[in-house]
Amino acid sequence: MIRFESVTKRYPSGQEALREVTFAIAAGEFVFLTGHSGAGKSTVLKLVSLSERATRGAVLFGERNLAKVSARGIPAIRRQVGQVFQDHRLLMDRTVFDNVALPLVIAAVPRAELEKRVRSALEKVALAARERSRPVELSAGEQQRVGIARAIVAKPPLVIADEPTGNLDPTLAAEIMALFATLTQAGTTVLVASHDLPLVQRMKKRVLVLDHGRLIDDFRPVPPPPAHVAAAIESVRP
């Protein structure tokens, strides 16, 4: 789904955010991107959503090299990437429904279809009852769930999230992460940048660790044994 091949990103200020970063994420995978602040997590996400372009190396989305996407082609790419932001970036003067509907409005989805999909997305994040509310009337966790509903409503193949739990207390953060984890069930690829290491570890997912722009670890959790094996182990345990 996503491939980084020796990607280097240098900002105009001269700061090198990524150095020779190479990794691949398969379709339907859930991957955490972690590291200290300034390690390059956000830059990786910005390269994927074409908010920035790589200085060297290739970023491939599907089979497409994003370096070859023209300015006119950027919106089409972004419509295939659901984005969740730390500060959720909702339109405060619109209702929850209108916020979630925005990607579908952009894609010119007919009204009836749009309403169906928005309601279904709101149900997934357990906010079906709040569709007429405005974001300011919601709690921080609920606002972030609206952001997630907006990211998934157009059923993009890839969802990326930059510190989605950065502003939430640990309980809410865990809830939000669990919500992200459910997305892969429908085949969606999920890439979450987070520096909340305890939370990341508890999730038992693949973790890419960045340090000063270099990829220093690609940790894959040992898959839990299948149920019957687990049961067998349990039965022989003294």
Partner 1 sequence: MSANRSPEPGATNRRTAARDDGVREPAAHASLRAWLGQHAYGALSSLGRLWQRRAATLLTVAVMGLALALPLLLHLALRNLERYGGSIQEARELSVFVAPGSDAKAIGKLETAIAADAAVESVRLRSPDEGLAELEALPGFAEAVALLEENPLPTVLLVAPRAGLASDAMAALAGRLGALPGADLVLYDLEWRERMTRALALAARLAAIVAAMLALGALLVVGNTIRLDVQGRAEEIAIVQQLGGSDGFVRRPFLYAGCWYGLFASLAALVGCAVALAALAGPVASLAESYGSTLGLVGLDLETVGATLLAGLVLGWLGAWIACGRHLARGRPA
In the complex, the residues that contact partner 1 under the rule CB under 8 A are 12, 46, 49-53, 62-65, 68-69, 71-81, 83, 89, 91, 102-111, 113, 150, 154-157
Comparing CB distances to partner 1, the nearer of 32 and 61 is: 61
Backbone angles phi, psi at 205, to 5 degrees: -120, 175
- Closest CB 199 distance from partner 1, rounded Å: 25
- Of the two residues 83 and 165, which places its CB atom closer to partner 1 in the complex? 83
- Find out whether 164 and 86 touch, Cβ atoms under 8 Å: yes
Q: Give the separation between CA 31 and CA 50, rounded to whole angstroms.
A: 19
For partner 1, give the closer residue by CB, 81 or 121.
81
Nearer to partner 1, 113 or 137 (CB): 113
Three-state SS at 165: coil
Q: Which C-beta is closer to partner 1: that of 58 or that of 174?
A: 58
Distance from C-alpha of 187 to C-alpha of 196, rounded to nearest angstrom: 25
Minimum CB–partner distance for residue 73 and partner 1 (Å): 7
The nearest distance, CB 117 to partner 1, in angstroms, is: 9
**Interatomic CA distance for residues 88 and 143, integer angstroms:** 7
**Residue 26 CB, nearest distance to partner 1 (Å)?**
17
Least distance from partner 1 to the Cβ atom of residue 151, Å: 9
Q: Rounded to whole angstroms, how far apart are CA atoms 14 and 32?
A: 27
Taking each helix axis from N to C end, the angle separating 140-152 and 111-124, rounded to the nearest 10 degrees, works out to: 130
Phi, psi of 40 (to 5 degrees): 115, 10
